[in-house]
Structure 1
Amino acid sequence: MNTIRENRVLLSFVIITTAICLRAPITSVGSILYCIVEDLKLSNTVAGTITTIPLIVIALLSPFISKISEKTGANQSLLLGMIIMLAGILLRSFGGIVGLILGTGLIGMGITFGNVLIPAIIKSFFPDKIGTMTGIFTTTMSVCSGLGAGISVPLAVNLGWGWRWTFCIWAVTAMVSIVVSLIQLKRMPSDCKKTEQVEGANKLQKPLYKIPLAWWVAVMFGGQSCVFYMMVTWLPTIVSDRGLSPMAAGIVATVFQLAAIPANLAIPMLAGYFKNQSRLAVSVAGMGIIGLVGILFAKSVILLGASTAILALGLGGTFSLSLVMFGMRTSDGIQAARLSGFAQSAGYVMAAIGPFLAGAVYDLSGNWAFPITLAVFIMVLDLIAAGIAGRDQQI
């Protein structure tokens, strides 16, 4: 019993240290991108790929992660992902232009391993605490995402670290995750390793794309991802085009990042109290719709900030609840990894398309009301999918 408890404690640290690495290495880029451009003499086209490459890699690689984990075990595969992440961070910092591109791709690969496998590990080792552990996971990601964006300029510019050594902070967290994972794997009971690799091996033979519930979960995850990245990309521009100052745009963008944190923690924990999460799922998706409608009509920075906060709560809650669904709509860790990979592949395709689509609609219409209205329709679809995915059923 003590060995099992110790293993769960170590796994908790693995989940937390991995979560630190899954967003911050990307969100830390934007605020000091100009430093990279000046140092490496990059074109705007190349610079733009630094944030696009990880999304493409995640979308393409996600379906294959579960296959790897079925052969090696989810914990071992997660360790591999963190090693790839560490290599990517170091290569991005010290490999020149080629290293910047390849390293960014490797970081995307490492993120994909974590994205897909953490919900499966939670399902396998914390079946009684899926909501709580998912809440801790998503909250850590959200906090560190904002931290990554916030500390980059002070470290790189004010303290003179430069962009290379600033990025290496996340190499340290990746190394910590690797060390903890190695300790955890060494102390994991041998029967747990065998169970993890064979559980569910004969289940779910039917392809996921033929299962309607898998598509509803994928649409639920993908809808919020699409709207989130649309807002991350264009929200400051939308605020500025309302005649407000750049400072006001920055404040609204900060609210968008920070307001999601309470939902990231609370919604998964609430989900754990119910067998049927439909009402909760519809409620949080509905908050996203209310927030977008508010942004559509708001003129003042106060109303824009309030609407943005509501939107962030809705998107943060829907994101966290989507991860909970990967565990609650499946019967074991293998199924959870497969569903996670399937849904996240579809979701990140939508995430990559969202900002481009919003920009194209604006170019055609010349008015941000049309892209925002498009986002409202996407969230309505997300609400419908969330209501169906939240029902007490399993694949």
Structure 2
Amino acid sequence: MHTERSGINFTLEVFLLAANLRLAIIGIPPIVTKVQAYFQLSTAQTGVLTTIPLLCFGFLSVATAPIIRKLGTKRTIESALLILTIANLLRTYMTWGMFIGTIFVGAGITMLNVSLPALIVERHPEQSVKLNGVYTASINVISAIIGGIAVPVANAIGWQFTVQLFSIPAIIAFLATLLLPHRPTKAAGHHQTSKDGATIAAPTKIWKRGHVWLLAIFMGLQSLIFYTVVAWLPSVLMSHGLSATTAGWLFSIFQIIGAPFAYLVPRATTKAAHLNALMAALLVGFLSGISILIAVNATWLLIVACIIIGVTTASVFTLSLSMITTISTTPQEAGSVGGIVQSIGYLIASIGPTLFGMIKTDLGNWPQTLMVLIAIALVNILVGFILIQVVQKKHFVY
């Protein structure tokens, strides 16, 4: 009876924690014009607001492991949620508060990024497939809801109060985490030490593996594309004449449409033929979706573009995560590979929003700027095809 109740509780806990993994980042782009006007930010400075969390993901992930060892996974998550709560309250009214608060947002989400998978393995490893599904689906669903309601809520109560409301999910998740059964820090630390030992001790071998570098680059380029789209899609849509509210709803479509593919894409990672077909489909998705954004003003085609890009970015992200497991021979090695791949990947991704803000400022229009995004997407898929050939030769896929 306790196990069943605990399982239901824990599934809800995973949902509540996952709800905070993008919310404080995703909530800004739909109302970015209001933020930009209030603080009188340039396009490049506005792009920095999306770049800061990505830099935190890249640089602070390693620092989270010692925190988990010292505090335990549960306490680390509680600390991260408190940081998020304060950060969202801080980043309104003053320019310095927006930037400092965004740094704290990045730090809090980084801690959750590392701690949530550890919590799942620590508490219910036998349900990891189901809970990972809850994890990824929750991110997409919550992001979609926030993308859709951010503008109407900001219009009704002001953008500052809207940003402060982002603290509510963090507070709810914090209270739910307090209700989780406490596990001795020593036991959790021992388990995490073993994992961390693999992550820290194995890099000498892993850094020498070409396919790990290829996957890191693949992860980085797809993340760069995703976070650039997240930062600027509402602005691109409004440049086609859509209202901020309509752009927000299309932004929601972009977020939610990829949720089912989190379950479908991993099935394609065991055979090279399936991977090649998937990579070709991703190429078509990037080219067609971005091309529509460049050339078309019709609302219904812009909706199609958001659907295509949403499916494509969700699929390529899920593929990146699945490939970490595919090219790893043990769970410990998967942790090492995942840490390296995601750190490098997010550092690559961090340049995207600011870079494209600068390119837009220099070129003066979105069509030419989006052509650069197409070029990066082509390189991303080319790296993907090379990666498939390498992992096939090493017998990770057949």
TM-score normalised to the size of structure 1?
0.79
Change beyond 3 A, Cα 1:100–1:118 = same
Aligned partner letter, 2:378? V
The residue aligned with 2:270 is 276
CA distance in 2, matches of 1:281, 1:172: 41
SS at match of 1:247: coil
For the 8 Å contact 1:19–1:140, the answer to whether it is kept is: yes
- Report the equivalent of 1:104: 102
> Which one of 253, 257, 267 corresponds to residue 258 of structure 1?
253
In the TM superposition, residue 30 of structure 1 has moved relative to its aligned partner by: 2.6
Q: Which residue of 1 aligns with 2:280?
A: 286
Residues 387 and 120 of structure 1: CA distance in aligned 2, closer, same or farther (over 3 Å):
farther
1:63 aligns with 2:58: no
Alignment partner, residue 82 of structure 1: 81
> Which residue of the partner structure matches residue 178 of structure 1?
174
| Equivalent position of 1:218 in the other structure | 216
* Paired residues of 2:198 and 2:335 also in contact (CA < 8 A): no
Residue in 1 that maps onto 2:192: 197
CA distance in 2, matches of 1:217, 1:237: 31
Partners in 1 of 2:287 and 2:187 — Cα distance? Answer: 49
Looking at structure 1, the residues matched to 69 and 287 of structure 2 have their Cα atoms a distance apart, in angstroms, of 44
Q: CA deviation at 1:32?
A: 2.9
The one-letter code of the counterpart of 2:60 is L
Shift of 1:54: 1.6
Distance in 2 (alpha carbons) for counterparts of 1:69 and 1:335: 19
Compared with structure 1, are the counterparts of its residues 237 and 351 closer, same or farther at alpha carbon in structure 2 (3 Å cutoff)?
same
Picking from 123, 134, 137, the partner of 2:135 is 137
Specify which of 330, 338, 341 is matched with residue 339 of structure 2: 341
Task: List runs of 5+ in structure 2 lacking aligned partners.
Answer: none
Can you give the 5+ residue segments of structure 1 that lack an aligned partner in the other structure?
none
Contact 1:66 1:338 in 2 (8 A): no
Shift of 1:19: 1.4
State how many pairs are aligned.
Answer: 383
Report the Cα distance in structure 1 between the residues aligned to 2:124 and 2:211, rounded to whole angstroms.
23
- The corresponding residue for 2:381 is 379
Q: What TM-score do you get using the length of structure 2 for normalisation?
A: 0.78
CA contact (8 A) 1:264 1:317 kept: no
1:32 and 2:34 matched: no
Q: Label 1:268 to 1:336 Cα distance change in 2 as closer, same or farther (>3 A).
A: farther
Task: Sort the Cα spacing of 1:32 and 1:230 in 2 relative to 1 into closer, same or farther, 3 A.
Answer: closer
- CA–CA distance in structure 1, aligned partners of residues 82 and 395 of structure 2: 37
Residue in structure 2 matched with residue 156 of structure 1 by the alignment: 154
The answer to whether the aligner puts 1:267 opposite 2:265 as a matched pair is: no
Deviates more, 1:73-82 or 1:258-267: 258-267
Between the aligned partners of 1:216 and 1:136, the Cα distance in structure 2 is: 28
**Which segment drifts farther, 20-29 or 216-225?**
216-225
- Secondary structure of the equivalent of 1:246? coil
Structure 1 residue 110: deviation in Å? 0.9
Identity in percent: 24
What are the superposed Cα offsets for residues 28-75 of structure 1, whole Å, 9 maximum, x if unpaired? 223334444555x44436544333322222222123323433444334
1:21 maps to a residue whose letter is N
Bigger shift: residues 125-134 or 285-294? 125-134
- Structure 1 residues 201 and 50, CA, compared in 2 at 3 Å: closer, same or farther? closer
Matches within 5 A, 1:12-51: 12-37=11-36, 39=38, 41-44=39-42, 46-51=45-50
- 2:286 touches 2:377 (CA, 8 Å); kept in 1? yes
Q: Structure 1 residues 298-307 or 148-157, which shifts more?
A: 298-307
Query: For the structure 1 residues 199 and 4, does the alpha-carbon distance in structure 2 shift closer, same or farther, using more than 3 Å as the test?
Result: farther
CA distance in 1, matches of 2:262, 2:103: 32
Distance of aligned partners of 1:361 and 1:102 in 2 relative to their CA distance in 1, 3 Å threshold: closer
Q: Which AA in structure 2 matches 1:344? A: Q
Q: CA deviation at 1:183?
A: 1.7
Asked whether 1:309 is paired with 2:307, we answer: yes
